[in-house]
Structure 1
């Protein structure tokens, strides 16, 4: 289960798997990551980007396929992930899980995502 919070906004999803998608604020390149929650926290398990941007270069082992660089991030599980928004992209983060996508609020401050220890009834 994953939990999100941002200001007065809160969302709990009864799934360990989710994706995040956003655009680079300058180059407008699309970035997509698939994440998985587990006992040690949450970690990205797959990623792709449509082109480089400041701080968004594909790693050396990335493979170009279907119009994007695909790779496996090498990041240890994190207790939480903090998403920030610049307000300059014309859209913020989109989180998808269980066949539903949720645009995340851009004006509520940082967005926190963590694995939840509470189960949904």
Structure 2
């Protein structure tokens, strides 16, 4: 199960996989990454970008699928993924089973950084259930 950590708040998302979605700060092009909680750690299972430019070129093995360049990044499983929120761009979207909401729904708009991690390894602190 995947959790979001923000300061002492632990937010269990109650799903084994999520999609992170954001818009590039310069190009304003949507980027998505699918992440799964696996025994080895957080594993990126797909990336999608709806265009290219300014440091967001698709991988050489990407394929055009449903209006986006799609590929599986070659990245070892991670213990955590740290997400920064500058306030200069739109908030991250967290998609659970196809339904996307701004990250602020889960951890509040001022939380920075927010860490994506396995709930199995999340520190015990104030728990918050997503409503």
- Both proteins in one fold, TM over 0.5: yes
SS of corresponding position for 1:117:
helix
Return the alpha-carbon distance in structure 1 between the equivalents of residues 64 and 98 of structure 2. 26
- Name the TM-score, length of structure 2 as normaliser: 0.79
Correspondence for 2:117 = 114
As a proportion of its length, which structure holds more helix? 2
Q: How many residues align?
A: 117
Correspondence for 2:27 = 27
Correspondence for 1:103 = 102
- Cα deviation for residue 8 of structure 1 reads 5.9
- Cα deviation for residue 51 of structure 1 reads 1.2
- Name the TM-score, length of structure 1 as normaliser: 0.85
- Cα deviation for residue 67 of structure 1 reads 1.9
Return the alpha-carbon distance in structure 1 between the equivalents of residues 86 and 54 of structure 2. 14
Indicate yes or no: 2:62 matched with 1:62: yes
Q: Relative to 1, partners in 2 of residues 1:28 and 1:99: Cα closer, same or farther, differing over 3 Å? A: closer
Q: Relative to 1, partners in 2 of residues 1:41 and 1:60: Cα closer, same or farther, differing over 3 Å? A: same
Correspondence for 2:51 = 51
> Which consecutive residues of structure 2, in runs of 5 or more, have no partner in the other structure?
122-131
Q: Is contact 1:25-1:86 (8 Å) kept?
A: no
Range that drifts further, 58-67 or 8-17: 8-17
Return the alpha-carbon distance in structure 2 between the equivalents of residues 86 and 18 of structure 1. 22
- Cα deviation for residue 98 of structure 1 reads 3.7
The alignment yields a C-alpha RMSD, in angstroms, of 1.8
